[in-house]
Amino acid sequence: MKVKVALLCLLVVTAIGLLLLASGEHHPQAAILVVDAAGKPIAGAVIRPDGFRPKRGGGHYFWNTNLAPNTPVVTDANGAAFVAYPRYAHERIEVGEISFSVDHADYCHERPFRVVDASPPPRAPLREKIMFRLASLVGQAKSRADPVVLQTGAVVVVSGYVEENGPNTARIFPQVSGAWGAVTNLWRVGESNSLITKRIPAGATQLRLAADSGEKIYFSDLTNFSAQAGRTNHFHFPLRAGIVVTGRLDGIVARPVSNGVVIAEVFAPPQNSGADALGWHTWADIRADGTFTLSNLPPGRLEMIAVCDGYVSRNGTNQSSAMRTPQQWFLKHENLSVTIEMEPTATLVMNVLDDRRRPLANAVVASWPNARWGEWSSTIFPGSRFHTADTLRGNLVNVDWSLSAARFRATSDASGIAIMRNIPPGRFGLAVEHEHYAMPINTKNNDRHGMTETTNSGTITQTVTLQPKGRDELTN
């Protein structure tokens, strides 16, 4: 009798769960606890999810709002908040880690990664597993992550003046290592046109001041200091006009040059790499005669990648075929003229077939050559079109993330042929997507990716045979 009652209760709970599931989409939630260094809960901290990784390794994915909302959440009086996240990164590959920012006006900013698990414990009793699954269906499954500890920061007060009779009404923008660039409320206005923050992480710190007069950017020299929690640091900087770099593509590129772009990054001296390196990003169109101009640059290590129809800049320091690397120059305070060495690109002709070896139209072929910047970070080649000056001003309208993605995509025609041009030399991942078909599973890497190798310029021809979607699924 007891068994029948328990079974009946379980069936009722299951039915309720299925009804709730049918009423809308639900996501697992990560229970995030935010505390101070003494373990005291912090209320009012804003948590913004921004990315995730699959279980058992894999790359870091930017948050996909089609999979789960990334609406900011605020910690309650107990320092707790719940972040909804995607159960699956793609197909049935479960999400195993999420990244997010934690922001509070009285503490240093943090951007941690936390392990999450939307599955029941592997050795849990059957009843617990069933209840966990039901909780997942109704959006009540909680994955408890390690607490996030916010630290009290050092106080920094900065101001500046432009040398050489320049404008002293220029708006100033501090750049400081250890403070994530996405923080928008780090500084407040103080007395005598100074800026103040109390949220600089403790430790060895680099500081530079930029000033914007509207047409020119002025820069201070780099200052190194040791930030200590609660201690106030005052800085008053002289600033000098930014550097102008004029450049040209070498003679291998036929003129007129078409669709040419140069992407540039300047890393502050000493030539630090890694997340804390102070960078200054910019870009410019390349003129038909193969020349370009980059203005308002700070001193440091200049890295540049150039692309145009039929050509790409040669690799710089790293000759690995898996990553494209910039060419480098060193900027002091003088203007500079440079020549970028180029090499021809390749063309990929992809024959897309269905499972009956018939040409398949409307299949999207995509590749993702990577560029490695600062000997640390990587982006889809060649990088994005934005100016650091615009991001400091809060003008994100001028940020163009589409350049990289648009260059390495092609759609098959009625004969099943997709042509992708301007692929740099190297060995890169490749994927083919279709509304009704998918690439077979690559069992070695547990994905649906292939490879293309364009070690020489010219035309490379490959064939891929797709299978109907739903024939199998990727899982952990």
Tokens of 345: 């690109």
* Statement: residue 167 has pLDDT above 90: no
Range in 159-168, 298-307, 427-436 with the lowest mean pLDDT: 159-168
The pLDDT value given to residue 20: 42
How many other CB atoms sit within 10 Å of the CB of residue 458? 9
The pLDDT value given to residue 267: 92
- pLDDT tens digit sequence for 32-44: 999 999 999 999 9
* Statement: residue 162 has pLDDT above 50: yes
- pLDDT tens digit sequence for 367-397: 988 888 888 788 888 888 888 888 777 765 5
Average pLDDT value for the chain: 85
**Confidence category of residue 398, pLDDT binned at 50, 70, 90:** low
The pLDDT value given to residue 164: 67
- pLDDT tens digit sequence for 331-347: 998 999 999 999 999 99
Instruction: Name all domains of the chain by residue range, CATH numbers in brackets.
Output: 2-149 (2.60.40.1120), 154-241 (2.60.40), 243-344 (2.60.40.1120), 347-369+408-468 (2.60.40.1120)
**Confidence category of residue 261, pLDDT binned at 50, 70, 90:** very high
Cβ burial 180-214 (10 Å sphere, 16+ → b, else e): eeeeeebbeeeeeebbbbbbbbbeebbbbbbbbbe
**Confidence category of residue 24, pLDDT binned at 50, 70, 90:** very low
Q: Tell me the pTM.
A: 0.84
The pLDDT value given to residue 138: 47
Separation CA 412–CA 359 (nearest Å): 9
